[in-house]
Amino acid sequence: MTTTQPAPPTRTTTPAGTAKRPAPAGRPGVPLTTRLAVLTRHSLVQAVLIVAAVAWLVPTVGLLISSLRPKQLTATGGWWTALTRPAQLTLQNYTALLGGGDVPKALWNTVLISVPATLLTVALAATAGYAFAWMRFPGRDGVFVAVVGLLVVPVQVGLIPVAKLEGAVGLFGTIPGVVLFHVGYGLPFAVFLMRNHFLEIPAELLEAARVDGCGEWRIFRTLALPLAAPAVASLCIFQFLWVWNDMLVALIFAGNDSQPLTVYLQSQMRQFGSNMDILAPGAFLSLLVPVAVFLCFQRFFVQGAMAGSVK
Amino acid sequence: MSLRSPRRDRATGGALRRHRGLALLLVLPALLLLGALVVYPIGYSVGRSLFDASGHRFVGLDNYGAAFTDHATLTAVRNNAIWVAVAPALVTAVGLVFAVLTEKIRWATAFKLLVFMPMAISFLAAGIIFRTVYDADPHRGVLNAAAVAVHDTFTDQPSYPGARPRPGTGLDQADGGDVRVPAATGTVLLPLVGVQPGAVPATARTARPADGDGVRGTVFLDFVPGGGGHPGQLDPGKKGLPGVKVQLHDGARTIATTTTADDGTFRFSAAPSATASVVLPAADFAAPYRGIDWLGPAFVTPAIIGAYTWIWAGFAMVIIAGGLANLPRETIEAARLDGAGEWQILRRITVPQLAPVLGVVFITMVINAMKIFDLVYVIAPGPVQQDADVLALRLYLVSFGGGNDQGLGSALSVLLLLLVVPVMLLNIRRFRGSRS
């Protein structure tokens, strides 16, 4: 999220923000009407963006406040009434939700699904990506083109066949079953990303290591992998968020004992309105981790999003 | 590949060959999983789509025929077409506007962070968020609360929403909802019922006949708490209705306007005449504005597309801003010096130069919109689900959500796959192009 706002070379006493084009506005001798027009346009831009910022902020703030209101109040008025009467806010929904029952288990299941699914995908993609980039084996280029082709295959295509497949080997309805599906459908993009990043390593560097008698596995572990660390980080974040946020795959492949938070909350949607004390704090809990990851690792996240735009 | 010259390949060829075993060891786990979980399912789906629900009877292309004749599936196809036609263009446009406008402000980083954040949120959480935002009840849904607030600011508030003349008292309500009664001599009685509890202000006093000359009368709540009294008459215990707008009409012309006092009385200076009538305008009784039924059958798809835009506009903005930062500034500065307006610059210079980036964002969003599932499943309330249906949701419902017809489900998944095949080929061509 590093925005490029190059400081203009001639920054005079222009009104805030016209910095990008100070010439017409700030230079003395420019007709007052022109300066006024620039000023008006500038305030218009500010106004539009403030309205947009509010529109983007309000829904999430509404969820947060809703999650902090006791159940009996949700029937009497919207969450915005808490803005003037903050005394109604309480943590009781959260303590009730985390105190026992289904939510802590579902939250734990979410962790048990997303962490292995991320680590496995990244590990398999890193090794395969390195081989595709710097090693030789029969059919390498043809197979990689096929991987590129698989980038856009919708997960929906796999639902029925993989459910049958996992049913045959007893994985259907278990956490490893959900993990396996996520690994399969995370791999095309992951391999693609890793291979492209490994290719950016200068060939001379790898060759020097080979000449020094380094084994290929050691080169991969001690040279290539550290150099591709930013890509690995992007991939980890992307895959983790993808799996953490998934509902569709878990809806089908997880059983009652292995359902993650998204599936549990979805099952509560039928009584929407009467159980905001579960849905609002539950949804907020489920978005807390991704948003924290996002805020801590924005840079990698944006890089991942950019790279993922081919997906 | 492109980075390595053939000569270097030859030089290290021996080493590479020795490592062929290791190479296969490194790629095989990934390839086996891809084969079993992605490639094999494609073949299986194509095959399975040619069999009926039980999977035992070969039905040829019947499932595909059903996909285009079955009413529910046709709705899904139609909605998917709306999604693909509207959502990607909307997201790209909003992203472009944000990217261009944030270049002109100081708090660009904060704005981008804020708009990009929904990308990290699950569709389920976003769905729950927007179910509440779109709630039709203005006391729960913030959007309708805002709509009602704006509406009520710009229109007159009905004093007694839902009130009507007491039936059987000879008082009529015209088609437009105005209550009209001839301006007779003496007190004109206007007995009303249906006043909402709480609508009568605390200042209201017991209704009584109006004093003075001219046209006069009393508007009152024709109801005695605890029972009793006669319909249409001023009995003890009946409250006057303060603040009701009263008009005096001569024919169709309004000649005077007043409002009732705390005891419900009103008075005009004009004398009664045969053509005059006392009118209570309909606006005072209109049912209150309740906003828009966002999640009703008519608006549900646009509403969900709105939520989708909330999620993805940040992605479009960041990618487009990245492209914008790489544009050569000279052309734009030159155009500006030549007196081109900002809009002209955007349309004639910026957008054409950004075309490749806009294309990437647009295509990504198209693929995304084709596969849309979670948002629709979560936001559309049960009874409206079939009006909001899309292909991926239909596929899920048909195969797992009670439909129990994996033949039709497979046909739908093959259709989804066929929809993305052009992008698949495009990706491969782009990749091949980048190599040579």
- Using a CB-CB cut-off of 8 Å, the residues of chain B touching A305 are 119, 315, 318-319
A52–B98 C-beta distance less than 8 A: yes
Nearest residue on chain B to A59, judged by CA atoms? B129
Tell me, yes or no, whether B265 lies in a domain.
yes
A158–B118 C-beta distance less than 8 A: no
Q: B245 pLDDT band (50/70/90 cuts)?
A: confident
- Using a CB-CB cut-off of 8 Å, the residues of chain A touching B101 are 45, 48-49
By Cβ distance, the residue of A56, A78, A276 closest to B114 is A56
Distance CA B124, CA B311 (A): 12
B12–A52 C-beta distance less than 8 A: no
Q: B402 pLDDT band (50/70/90 cuts)?
A: confident
Task: Give the count of Cβ contacts less than 8 A between chain A and B.
Answer: 321
pLDDT of res. A11: 34
A48–B101 C-beta distance less than 8 A: yes
**Both B314 and B422 in a single domain?**
yes
**Both B214 and B303 in a single domain?**
no
- Whether the per-residue pLDDT at A303 is higher than 90: the answer is no
Asked whether B104 and A25 are in contact (CB, 8 A), the reply is: no
**Both B180 and B97 in a single domain?**
no
A311–B30 C-beta distance less than 8 A: no
Tell me, yes or no, whether B311 lies in a domain.
yes
Q: How many residues does chain A have?
A: 311
By Cβ distance, the residue of B106, B130, B325 closest to A16 is B106
Range of the domain at B373: 45-121+296-431
A212-222 burial, b if ≥16 CB within 10 A, otherwise e? eebebeebbee
φ, ψ for residue A254 (rounded to 5)?
A: -90, 145
**What's the predicted TM-score (pTM) here?**
0.81
Distance CA A267, CA A273 (A): 13
pLDDT of res. B237: 83
Q: B26 pLDDT band (50/70/90 cuts)?
A: very high
- Using a CB-CB cut-off of 8 Å, the residues of chain B touching A156 are 371, 373, 392, 395-396, 412-413, 416
What distance in Å separates residue A99's CA from the closest CA in chain B? 21
**Both B311 and B262 in a single domain?**
no
- Using a CB-CB cut-off of 8 Å, the residues of chain A touching B118 are 56, 60
Q: Of the candidates B234, B262, B284, which is a domain's last residue?
A: B284
Q: What is the pLDDT of residues B345-395, one digit of tens each?
A: 888 888 999 999 999 899 999 999 999 999 999 999 988 999 999 999 999
Q: What is the pLDDT of residues B143-153, one digit of tens each?
A: 988 888 888 88
By Cβ distance, the residue of B12, B119, B432 closest to A305 is B119
- Using a CB-CB cut-off of 8 Å, the residues of chain B touching A163 are 400
**Both B335 and B266 in a single domain?**
no
**Both B300 and B423 in a single domain?**
yes
- Whether the per-residue pLDDT at A301 is higher than 80: the answer is no
**Both B396 and B305 in a single domain?**
yes
Asked whether B254 and B247 are in contact (CB, 8 A), the reply is: yes
Tell me, yes or no, whether B8 lies in a domain.
no
- Using a CB-CB cut-off of 8 Å, the residues of chain A touching B328 are none
Strands (E) in chain A, as ranges, are: none
Angle between the N-to-C axes of helices B300-325 and A298-307, in degrees from 0 to 180, rounded to the nearest 10: 100
Can you give the CATH number for the domain in which B330 is found? 1.10.3720.10
Distance CA B218, CA B204 (A): 13
B373–A136 C-beta distance less than 8 A: no
Q: What is the pLDDT of residues B35-44, one digit of tens each?
A: 999 999 999 9
B115–A199 C-beta distance less than 8 A: no
**Both B278 and B312 in a single domain?**
no
A247–B122 C-beta distance less than 8 A: yes
Q: A145 pLDDT band (50/70/90 cuts)?
A: very high
Distance CA B424, CA A148 (A): 8
- Using a CB-CB cut-off of 8 Å, the residues of chain B touching A125 are 30
Which structural domains are found in chain A, ordered by start?
Answer: 18-90 (no CATH), 97-310 (1.10.3720.10)
Determine the 3-state secondary structure of B217 from DSSP. Answer: strand
Asked whether B290 and B138 are in contact (CB, 8 A), the reply is: yes
B118–A56 C-beta distance less than 8 A: yes
Give alpha helix (H) positions in A156-174: 156-169
Tell me, yes or no, whether B244 lies in a domain.
yes
**Both B300 and B420 in a single domain?**
yes
What is the helix (H) or strand (E) element at residue B396, kind and residue range? helix B391-399
B37–A185 C-beta distance less than 8 A: yes
Residue given tokens 């992008």 in the structure block? B423
Distance CA B291, CA B137 (A): 8
pLDDT of res. A305: 64
Q: What is the pLDDT of residues A215-251, one digit of tens each?
A: 888 999 999 999 999 899 989 998 999 999 999 999 9
Q: B236 pLDDT band (50/70/90 cuts)?
A: confident
φ, ψ for residue B223 (rounded to 5)?
A: -160, 125
Total domains present in chain B: 2
H helices, E strands: number in chain B: 17, 9
Tell me, yes or no, whether B133 lies in a domain.
no
- Using a CB-CB cut-off of 8 Å, the residues of chain B touching A5 are 103, 108
B31–A77 C-beta distance less than 8 A: no
B420-432 burial, b if ≥16 CB within 10 A, otherwise e? beebbeebeeebe
B142–A62 C-beta distance less than 8 A: yes
DSSP character string of B346-378: IIIIIHHHHHHHHHHHHHHHHHHHHT--HHHHH
A184–B121 C-beta distance less than 8 A: no
A153–B38 C-beta distance less than 8 A: yes
Span of A65-69, A131-135, A166-170, B213-217 with lowest mean pLDDT: B213-217
DSSP character string of A25-85: HHSTTS-HHHHHHHHHHHHHHHHHHHHHHHHHHHHHHHHHHHHTS-HHHHTTS-TTHHHH-
By Cβ distance, the residue of B30, B364, B382 closest to A309 is B364
DSSP character string of B286-346: PPPP----TTSTTTHHHHHHHHHHHHHHHHHHHHHHHHHHTS-HHHHHHHHHTT--HHHHI
**Both B326 and B276 in a single domain?**
no
A272–B381 C-beta distance less than 8 A: yes
Mean pLDDT calculated for residue range B54-72:
89
CA Rg, chain B, in Å?
35
DSSP character for A309?
A: G
Q: What is the pLDDT of residues B272-318, one digit of tens each?
A: 888 888 888 877 777 777 788 899 888 999 999 999 999 999 999 99
**Both B380 and B412 in a single domain?**
yes
Q: Of the candidates B261, B284, B307, which is a domain's last residue?
A: B284
Tell me, yes or no, whether B22 lies in a domain.
no
Tell me, yes or no, whether B363 lies in a domain.
yes
- Using a CB-CB cut-off of 8 Å, the residues of chain A touching B381 are 272
Q: Best residue in A66, A143, A159 to probe B by mutation, most B CBs within 10 Å?
A: A159
A154–B420 C-beta distance less than 8 A: yes
Tell me, yes or no, whether B191 lies in a domain.
yes
By Cβ distance, the residue of A132, A181, A284 closest to B37 is A181
What distance in Å separates residue A149's CA from the closest CA in chain B? 5
Nearest residue on chain A to B21, judged by CA atoms? A137
**Both B186 and B274 in a single domain?**
yes
Span of A22-31, A129-138, A240-249 with lowest mean pLDDT: A22-31
pLDDT of res. A29: 63
Distance CA B90, CA B324 (A): 19
User: How would you classify residue A213: left for phi > 0, otherwise alpha for psi between -120 and 50, otherwise beta?
Assistant: left
What distance in Å separates residue A230's CA from the closest CA in chain B? 18
By Cβ distance, the residue of B139, B417, B432 closest to A153 is B417
pLDDT of res. B176: 57
By Cβ distance, the residue of B48, B120, B310 closest to A56 is B310
Give the CA count within 13 Å in the CB-facing half-sphere of B301.
Answer: 22
Average pLDDT along chain B: 86
Q: Of the candidates B241, B259, B284, which is a domain's last residue?
A: B284
Looking at per-residue confidence, does B10 or A289 come out higher?
A289
What distance in Å separates residue A123's CA from the closest CA in chain B? 9
